[in-house]
Structure 1
């Protein structure tokens, strides 16, 4: 984002001048997060979660690299190597718990970041590319988390890999060969563990690369804001530093407080006890369940229990699960309302808070419950509403809704006074 009132970086020290002339890294950093980057003055704390997601990614990369130094990717030694990390490596228990719970906190802040974008219309023009790259990051996170969950080689790790990869076999013709290629055999074993460990180590750096593109794309149109009104004058903005670095610092402090409380006092709260049992291919757990951040998608996957014409129910579930994420790519073109922010869209607001949010909560509950009785029916109803919200309700609402009057500028929304020319 380039504004005529943005401060230009002018190094004063001769050494910094020399560096900036040959490698303009100081100028790049200043223009990205310093006084050279004007930001809307009305951003609330929901805009902190992008930074928090970046911090969570760094925590995962650092702890993951150190854990990889002690992990043994073998079906005979993986479980014992995790026990070795927990018991014998200095600080190993902290690294393992920080990495394990860091994944959950990463998903928490990313989910809040996504819901903020959904509510405030951050996916609308001219920020479509930011949104699309964000969905790519989300998909890479899910792949990385799934492969990481397999590595301890506990009961839930093994059977989770068996069940989830088994759904690939539902794809006609190429499904079973694809599953065998992914696993390196007919069932999760040494080849699968090697593949998952290699990809789990590699993908966080791919995520980091896409995050850089995500931030780069953000700096072209600039940040969105709660009103959805674009920046018009200098009075609509403040420099990112020190105003939002201080605000992000407060948010980071709160994030670290909750993160450390869980890591030190309830480290297994978000995990599954069966994963502290070594993997046994001959003993199926009573109830196979993925990590909590996969529950809504797992509920959609299990919602199909009857074949439709020539399409097996298993294949329908796989298509629906991947489709529930894929439709997010088309969201900028499904919602055609000229108003971005949900604060000024009364009908959209009702469907968001009383339709979409309860629907996702119900899907999450159904995803952790056994696939039987009322839980299947609730999952089917919630899954149907999820798709209807994006494919039917949102396009119709965006056409028939009578929106509220927007402020003329960000300054007017904040102060009640019109912005100075």
Structure 2
């Protein structure tokens, strides 16, 4: 997995025999113990470990729930009630799983915005970054299908609205919808399909996560300065320095997670989803989960159905082109004073889109969504490419060590345009 050679030498005869045939211990040692990481990493770099923890938690609790859940339109709602009321600690497992989806997205959004801020998507990390976008798309699909499974009012009508969007695709749209539904409307075959895919996709996510970690260990981790490791003094071993920080961050996040599970377990859910699905009664205001709201606002900002679907999909797909849209030679926004202002405007716009997605699609809410949508795409297609040519970044430190010590022994530091790309194995 790592591009760095291992120094692991088994001590026992059995260990040497096993390592010569399946070098798992050496792989772990080179990738997670001796692997050099920049010494200036902050706690924003611990969200990768938090996300791995949340993925494992979601898989474990999901497997437990699948033992009791019944994927049948007539029994699904009652089976969830059975889990909550009759299964020992079933309420706890379900609350962990339901709130765990929200915590998963909290961590992934922090991870994404940290990536954007520090330019971790730039060469030579393009494949690593695109794998991360793929993980995010798989997470969205998994979360949507999981939201349908309780078969409450919002589950049923959310599935109806979202699956109907595929009908806007020319030629093949109606065929895709019929395959998703398994009939002429959302019903029992739809629920069975969604249950099967919801159970399968987390394991696909786990596979892509392994590729993501593998791709990370080839060039090494980025850092707040954006400059590579150039000497042994710039780096520290992954264990214990990074692992201790990761463990501490995971524990703090677990406390945050536990607060929602034990004190506000239903706060992030919708009241209508505690009513059994009724195809004859449409909720007054159909809204998805909070983590979909920015993209839902973009969807509704476009008057045309097909245009809205294209804009919603493009809002995520455009992330894949960031390594080439960003023309600046400097990674970290900390050394880009002009872009820093636009970055925080972009963050505010994303929050506004999330809030607008929860509002009715009427009046000035639609106008505000359209303005925010235009800015969202302008950030990637205009601001990122243009600023790379007109902005004058601040001088970079000569090394990671100098950034940690707060001095620049070499004087003015590295010129902004001369930021070296290759990762040193020091």
Q: TM-score range by the shorter chain?
A: over 0.9
| Cα deviation 1:113-155 (Å, max 9, x = unaligned) | 0000000000000000110000000000000000000000000
Which among 315, 318, 332 is matched to residue 323 of structure 2? 332
Runs of 4+ that moved beyond 3 A = none
**Aligned partners of 1:188 and 1:418: how far apart in 2?**
67
Trace 1:53-72 onto structure 2 (pairs within 5 A): 53-72=51-70
| Cα deviation 1:270-322 (Å, max 9, x = unaligned) | 111110000000000010000000000000000012xxxxxxx0111000000
Q: Structure 2: any 5+ residue segments left out of the alignment? A: 411-425
Q: Which residue of 1 aligns with 2:346?
A: 356
Q: Which residue of 1 aligns with 2:20?
A: 21
Range moving further from structure 2, 155-164 or 406-415: 406-415
Alignment of 1:409 onto 2:408: no
Check whether the contact 1:411–1:418 (CA below 8 A) recurs between aligned residues. Answer: no
Q: Which residue of 2 aligns with 1:101?
A: 99
The Cα shift of 1:186 comes to 1.8
Which among 134, 150, 153 is matched to residue 152 of structure 1? 150
The Cα shift of 1:7 comes to 6.3
Check whether the contact 1:303–1:317 (CA below 8 A) recurs between aligned residues. Answer: yes
Trace 1:200-279 onto structure 2 (pairs within 5 A): 200-279=198-277
Which among 378, 381, 387 is matched to residue 397 of structure 1? 387
Judged with a 3 Å threshold, the aligned counterparts in structure 2 of structure 1 residues 195 and 7 are, in CA distance, closer, same or farther, namely closer
The Cα shift of 1:90 comes to 0.5
**Aligned partners of 1:117 and 1:244: how far apart in 2?**
18
Check whether the contact 2:6–2:29 (CA below 8 A) recurs between aligned residues. Answer: no
Q: Which residue of 2 aligns with 1:315?
A: 306
**How does the TM-score come out when normalised to structure 1?**
0.95
SS at match of 2:64: helix
Q: Which residue of 2 aligns with 1:309?
A: none
Q: Which residue of 2 aligns with 1:39?
A: 37
Q: Structure 1: any 5+ residue segments left out of the alignment? A: 306-312
The Cα shift of 1:206 comes to 0.2
SS at match of 1:270: coil
The Cα shift of 1:13 comes to 2.7
| Cα deviation 1:23-45 (Å, max 9, x = unaligned) | 111111111111x2010000000
SS at match of 2:56: helix
**Aligned partners of 2:404 and 2:367: how far apart in 1?**
46
Check whether the contact 2:68–2:83 (CA below 8 A) recurs between aligned residues. Answer: yes
The Cα shift of 1:181 comes to 1.2
Q: Which residue of 1 aligns with 2:186?
A: 188
Q: Which residue of 1 aligns with 2:116?
A: 118
Check whether the contact 2:325–2:385 (CA below 8 A) recurs between aligned residues. Answer: yes
Q: Which residue of 2 aligns with 1:346?
A: 337
Q: Which residue of 2 aligns with 1:173?
A: 171
Check whether the contact 2:6–2:26 (CA below 8 A) recurs between aligned residues. Answer: no
**Aligned partners of 1:18 and 1:102: how far apart in 2?**
41
The Cα shift of 1:178 comes to 1.2
CA RMSD of aligned residues (A): 1.2
**Aligned partners of 1:22 and 1:341: how far apart in 2?**
43
**Aligned partners of 1:410 and 1:131: how far apart in 2?**
22
Range moving further from structure 2, 394-403 or 171-180: 171-180
**How does the TM-score come out when normalised to structure 2?**
0.94
The Cα shift of 1:182 comes to 1.3
Check whether the contact 1:409–1:418 (CA below 8 A) recurs between aligned residues. Answer: no
Alignment of 1:282 onto 2:265: no
**Aligned partners of 2:185 and 2:378: how far apart in 1?**
37
Q: How many equivalent pairs are there?
A: 409
The Cα shift of 1:15 comes to 2.7
Q: Which residue of 2 aligns with 1:310?
A: none
Which among 338, 354, 370 is matched to residue 380 of structure 1? 370
**Aligned partners of 1:384 and 1:268: how far apart in 2?**
34
SS at match of 1:224: coil
